[in-house]
Amino acid sequence: MTGEPLQLGPEDWLATGSSGIGGMGSAKENGAASDSKGAPVLSPQEQQEVERTAKLLKRDEAISAVQRWIGIPDNLTLRSANLGTDWRNADMHVWSFDWSNTGSENGEGKPQYLSARVSAANGELLGFNISYPPTEKPETTLDQSALQKLAEEFLKRVQPNRFSQVGLDTENSSNAKISPEPWNNQYFSYHRVANGVDFPGNGMTVNIEPAAGVITGYELNWSESDLPGLSGVLSKDRAVESFLKVRPLTLVYVRIYSKGLPGNLRLVYLPVGPDPSIPLSNTMDAKSGELLDYQGQPLEKGPKPYNFTDLTGVNEAHEIVALGQAGLFGEFGDSFKPLDKMSIASLLRAMYLSRFGLSGNTSLTDSEVITKAKELGWLKEDIKPGDNMNRELLAKVLLRYIQLNKLAELKDTYQVNFQDAAEISADALGYIALASGTGILKVEGQVLAPHEVLNRAEVAAALYRALTWVN
């Protein structure tokens, strides 16, 4: 209104929804903890991070670590420097640098670009790449073995201890005839061998420009995690036997395709799983013999039926048995515990598994189940996973699950004849009317008790009726 700067009082703060423009004021103004002098007080986690990063190399120290192994050409200028964590190891801090040529003239043989990464803890060289302008190179006088020797001499200097733990990966290294084209860099890959066992995901690589014999690239990928020992490992023959029990060799017809076109039919043996509910896998745990999925977890072997043994005298036994045979409500194995209180997480888990199947979903945590139920619109209330289920909430959840919620939310449409109808929340009246009218929610007598906590048998039976009502 006046164009004058807005002056805030000592206890005022300005809510603009944008930080960095005075939006939330100072640390003191926006409620952050501060000491007697007004300085921000760090949380224990923040203080721990400050202490840890204080021990790391400073930027110039990290650049010196790069220069220890790589000469930084004088025509390149530092364009970026970043201290971050390694994407493969969140506990490892890494300095990353980029240099580039800023002039219009490179000069003969001058590089255009250099990037490098070093450990911020000890200056270990983790990788670099240097590029030169494309020019025709004379045919090299170095053969493949000479280039490989150059690569290995470099690795022995940079990684003397780790080089003794790797072997040349011939399938992923250059082996073609060396030609003078400028793009014909040679590539040598060395994979890790730990405890006498190949570790293909770990190792180091080197790129060499063949005409001049110059190292143009290097990359280290090395896990610091403890590796499992070899004790208790199945023999190869035993592993094959275990694998073929699950995926026996089966005689099948296959068609061979060549260049995208269908070709001849062949009669072959393939390892085919006899149970279609078990996903196929070619990876086996070397100690247990279990087949593993792409994340290294044991394959889920289809729905496991639960044969509940504690349903004698339970009115809802028929419904609960059917749900158990579908692999639902197995929190306690073959005990259902019908008189225990039903938690919201237990019901939502059964609902989610019945809708999306058991495969890949049985390991979901209670919090994850709650999150998914909210995303699907089944749960809109602020509920904790361990909270118990009452009739009012059960009616809401189940009708949203079978997509009757829009009908249940119609205004001035429903009435019920329960003696305690006045105790029903206004937003739940339509849900109660529909759930009780369809028989999904069974109420004995004229008293609903909408906020009464229900046991596992009552809730499971209501879910069964909701599922069968839809079908």
Q: What's the pLDDT score for residue 114?
A: 95
Q: What's the pLDDT score for residue 405?
A: 92
Q: Where does 139-273 show beta strands of DSSP type E? A: 166-168, 186-194, 197-209, 214-221, 249-258, 261-271
At residue 44, the 3 state secondary structure works out as helix
pTM: 0.53
Q: How far apart are the first and last CA of the chain?
A: 64
Q: What residue spans define the domains of the chain? A: 1-41, 59-221, 235-302, 317-470
CA-nearest of 246, 358, 234, 224 to 303 is 358
Q: What's the pLDDT score for residue 192?
A: 94
Please report, in tens digits, the pLDDT of each residue of the chain (471 residues total).
Answer: 788 888 777 766 766 554 444 444 444 444 455 565 556 677 777 777 777 788 899 999 999 999 999 889 988 999 999 998 887 777 789 999 999 987 655 556 688 899 999 999 999 999 999 988 766 666 666 788 889 999 999 999 999 999 999 999 888 777 655 555 545 678 899 999 998 899 988 999 999 988 778 899 999 999 887 888 899 999 999 999 989 988 889 898 888 887 777 778 888 898 887 666 566 788 899 998 888 877 777 776 656 789 999 999 999 999 999 999 988 998 898 899 999 999 999 999 999 999 888 776 777 889 999 999 999 999 999 888 889 999 999 999 999 999 999 999 998 899 899 999 999 999 999 999 999 999 999 988 899 999 999 999 999 999 999 998 876
Q: What's the pLDDT score for residue 228?
A: 87
CA-nearest of 292, 209, 194, 208 to 243 is 292
pLDDT of 75-114, one tens digit each? 899 999 999 888 777 778 999 999 998 765 555 668 889 9
Rounded to whole angstroms, the Cα distance separating 340 from 242 reads 41
Query: Tokens in use for 300?
Result: 């889920």
Rounded to whole angstroms, the Cα distance separating 40 from 33 reads 6
Q: What residue type is assigned to position 391 of the chain?
A: R
